[in-house]
Structure 1
């Protein structure tokens, strides 16, 4: 049975998701005297925790940042966030449920079940606090349930980032020690906890390093250790069949999670009406029109490992030329000449009406039968081995302990999947990429070049997997978000062949609609359907360029006003007072 269905049962039995306060009482029929006695009780209760994972917004972190450009920019990109009265992510009901479970689960007589499901709960408490840490920074920390009249606990002050992170890692270590070791893409296992520890350690280690906070090294070392354990002592590997032209794409357009690499996934199925909208989102002209920005397209290396941006005139190169002989992940992430839908044989060019930049997304896209709104069923990854490899390489680079052998054990495995040449440590550091330097000006030191290359690799490999906003925050690279947003290059009005097959695919025109329009050709009106900048690059929308990022404020979210009134010991995040 799929866990989504079990969660629906658990929602009825365990908790009400409409309450927002720490003093929320579990439903009366879940009591220590009648529940927590059997393995099935522990399983049923912990199933409710899986609702914490993102579902259709798995790529939320890319939309909030500069990886996906749609018809409306996020509040984060526009610098338009305000202090909410309530809500705003300051919700604690899951923590209450988790702590209630941890106070009662040991009543179960099944020792193996106690170990495993206790580990599940510790994993989710770590996950809960990691999400709070990323959003708000310092927050109150609670290890037990709180009664409604416990004013002292309800008005607890915020704990330091280090305190919160140490508690997260403690919970993950407990989980690692007790969880079952198995390949199970839809359930928490020891490997899930190791992967999350790898993520947490890298996040906090770099967050603190780029803010000159002492002691960051222990978190980077935690990321290295957890990553290495997964790399050396787990059943996971980079998914590959040897087909360098399709394996990356097939990892994500599979209906079921590819368990060779995917450690934890969100499962979807039409059988129980649990669907998402990736196909509709990426293929229709009436829903967001998401596109890849040109600066990311420019970041993909040439197929021989050289830099695309070292080519003369790279920024005003026609589409069919710029996507030729590139890192194969580009043609497995956006529509390029020869692209066909899964299960189809007709080659398709980019639909300029369905993307704001001209670069139309294909990651996760499955057969056309799933194109209707909320009909997609492909599983969406939450934790995968590929991320762990990137975490390992980046943590070692930031620590200054990275060697060529480390790159060969990690990033090279990802490049092997698509037939890309090796990343060379000495070459990267002796000649840092100026294009990446402009994107990330805060990177310095002896490992500057390789850190930039790892960031390139991370952005490409983990595209649309909910990482970009978190990466920008931990790197203290907010100014990256206000750089120009651009799309495809077109010389001007005229007829264009987007796949070099000799047929016209797009007509860009000014003024009145052309007479005698050809069937199967896209007619795009300049300054109406599409805008261009002075260099003839698509400018998604002119008002997208009026953006701002406050370095003293915008890396954290504001605490709602009501919470500050209810708890006088809370302080507002800097810049949001």
Structure 2
């Protein structure tokens, strides 16, 4: 034992000077995670880092934006959306915090990529620029939402340490729009239109057109939309209903989508949207259409139901309507269900989804049909349907709206609107100068068209804000379908669920209290 101890001592004595000559011997690279010392070496590393930003795109949450408006009712009384829809949101509301946190987590991932991408030793600069363009587009996507929800927000474009993060301030919203515009222009220069399943030039330009429309920069919105239109890279898909089913995935109209796959990267949009009867053992019907949304669908002759010449019959309100109504909404006694039955919501009957048949059945008598694919019936929480975030129809309507706001109403405006209305499966008569002879009437026409064409796709919350219509359409009791009972015509009223909207406060969400506790430099929006 003594001899062994002596050997240990001698080894220690000999090792000390050797270690002194290698001061970095104990500075080892972690082997339990990827570190910067071994990452950012190859193009593959860069692609992995870019891939990490893609999951931050919206998925099934698109419904929740419309669920805060007059077009969808949040059907579950204890859902967090309800307090916001009723005007009871506070600085501590979880929905506000989650939106802020999710956006800035996404931006942090993007910033980390942009801070490190130039370390990659790669001769293929086009490939590096392509990945930069993808990540810049994703970062801009989140800044667009932040600007619309909160107004002035911190513009952060590089990684921050904790202390710096506690001192950032809000930048004026116009600077956010400037950044988004410049960022997406550069991204578009670097991206090809066709980029496989990844973000391409169309998504960058399309988001720029959307952002400039939201910002009221109509000339830029119109010119950017026109660039996409002139590229002829996209076209309307002929079947409106099929576009939101497995059969229509990755069609020529889709510009940007969040991609999913059953069993691998699935979601529960079927369980969220489908009628209660089609989701055994689950809740379903989280968001349901209101009558105010249904009333926006014109007649099959193209005229609004409010037009005396439209032929609308209040006693048969679902007859001869825009085909998109039947393709987007479950209508009682006429829409087939995934299980082979017929949707039935008439109160007081034994229909499949009669109002008040359960606490989870539709409260308005309608259900969302978009994204409800019968293939998901047997496993409703394992849907692999891609969620469309931008499609060519939006670009056409952006162009038309921007040109109207510029006072540049010409045949191209009518052509853009009519291309959407005359999709093969819709085929409404064209809008003419006789139908909308003034700028105000054409503006109303395109707004209604946008609401119908993009129904339940997450646009309504942002539209009623920029159109300054929220105080007109939000307050009051939500209304549901009409039905006949004891030879009397009745309408569902959701008394006790009065919505409210304070225009002095509610056009912007509050900066979450948790963020302001961490950073006292963040000022608060008015009214909170």
State the TM-score, normalizing by the size of structure 1.
Answer: 0.75
Alignment-derived partner of residue 572 in structure 1:
524
Instruction: For structure 2, list consecutive stretches of 5 or more residues without a partner in the other structure.
Output: 1-29, 278-282, 346-352, 356-360
Query: Retained in 2: the 8 A contact 1:122–1:171?
Result: yes
2:273 corresponds, among 272, 276, 281, to: 281
Structure 1's 235 and 485: CA in aligned 2 closer, same or farther, altered over 3 A?
A: same
Alignment-derived partner of residue 332 in structure 1:
327
Q: Alignment partner of 1:291: what SS?
A: strand
Distance, in Å, in 2 between the alignment partners of 1:275 and 1:568 is: 38
1:83 corresponds, among 76, 88, 91, to: 91
Q: Alignment partner of 2:397: what SS?
A: helix
- C-alpha offsets along residues 261-283 of structure 1, whole Å, 9 cap, x if unaligned? 01121222223151323256322
Alignment-derived partner of residue 499 in structure 1:
none
State the TM-score, normalizing by the size of structure 2.
Answer: 0.82
Query: Retained in 1: the 8 A contact 2:47–2:131?
Result: yes
- C-alpha offsets along residues 385-416 of structure 1, whole Å, 9 cap, x if unaligned? 11111111111111111223322134434433
Distance, in Å, in 1 between the alignment partners of 2:334 and 2:184 is: 45
For the pair 1:251 / 2:243, whether they are aligned, the reply is yes
5 Å-filtered alignment, 1:340-355, equals 340-341=336-337, 347-350=342-345, 351-353=353-355, 354-355=361-362
1:476 corresponds, among 468, 472, 476, to: 468
Alignment-derived partner of residue 536 in structure 1:
490
Alignment-derived partner of residue 360 in structure 1:
367
1:284 shift after superposition: 1.0
1:49 shift after superposition: 0.7
Alignment-derived partner of residue 261 in structure 1:
253
1:349 shift after superposition: 4.3
Structure 1's 99 and 28: CA in aligned 2 closer, same or farther, altered over 3 A?
A: farther
Distance, in Å, in 1 between the alignment partners of 2:83 and 2:382 is: 28
Alignment-derived partner of residue 164 in structure 1:
176
Query: Retained in 2: the 8 A contact 1:303–1:420?
Result: yes
Q: Alignment partner of 1:106: what SS?
A: helix
Number of aligned residue pairs: give it: 469
For the pair 1:188 / 2:199, whether they are aligned, the reply is yes
Structure 1's 316 and 290: CA in aligned 2 closer, same or farther, altered over 3 A?
A: farther
1:146 shift after superposition: 2.0
Alignment-derived partner of residue 296 in structure 2:
299
Alignment-derived partner of residue 510 in structure 1:
none
- C-alpha offsets along residues 113-140 of structure 1, whole Å, 9 cap, x if unaligned? 2110111121122122212212211012
Query: Retained in 1: the 8 A contact 2:397–2:416?
Result: no
- C-alpha offsets along residues 513-538 of structure 1, whole Å, 9 cap, x if unaligned? xxxxxxxxxxxxxxxxxxxxx97211
For the pair 1:488 / 2:481, whether they are aligned, the reply is yes
- C-alpha offsets along residues 351-373 of structure 1, whole Å, 9 cap, x if unaligned? 32432222233222111652544
Alignment-derived partner of residue 552 in structure 1:
504
For the pair 1:199 / 2:201, whether they are aligned, the reply is no
Alignment-derived partner of residue 175 in structure 1:
187
Instruction: For structure 1, list consecutive stretches of 5 or more residues without a partner in the other structure.
Output: 1-25, 206-218, 241-246, 431-446, 495-533
Who wins on radius of gyration, i.e. which is larger?
2
For the pair 1:428 / 2:421, whether they are aligned, the reply is no
RMSD, aligned α-carbons: 2.8
Query: Retained in 1: the 8 A contact 2:476–2:500?
Result: no
Query: Retained in 2: the 8 A contact 1:316–1:537?
Result: no
1:467 shift after superposition: 0.7
1:423 shift after superposition: 1.4
Query: Retained in 1: the 8 A contact 2:273–2:369?
Result: no
1:462 shift after superposition: 0.4
After TM superposition, the runs of 4+ consecutive aligned structure 1 residues lying more than 4 A away are 26-33, 311-316, 344-350
Distance, in Å, in 1 between the alignment partners of 2:313 and 2:477 is: 15
Alignment-derived partner of residue 17 in structure 2:
none
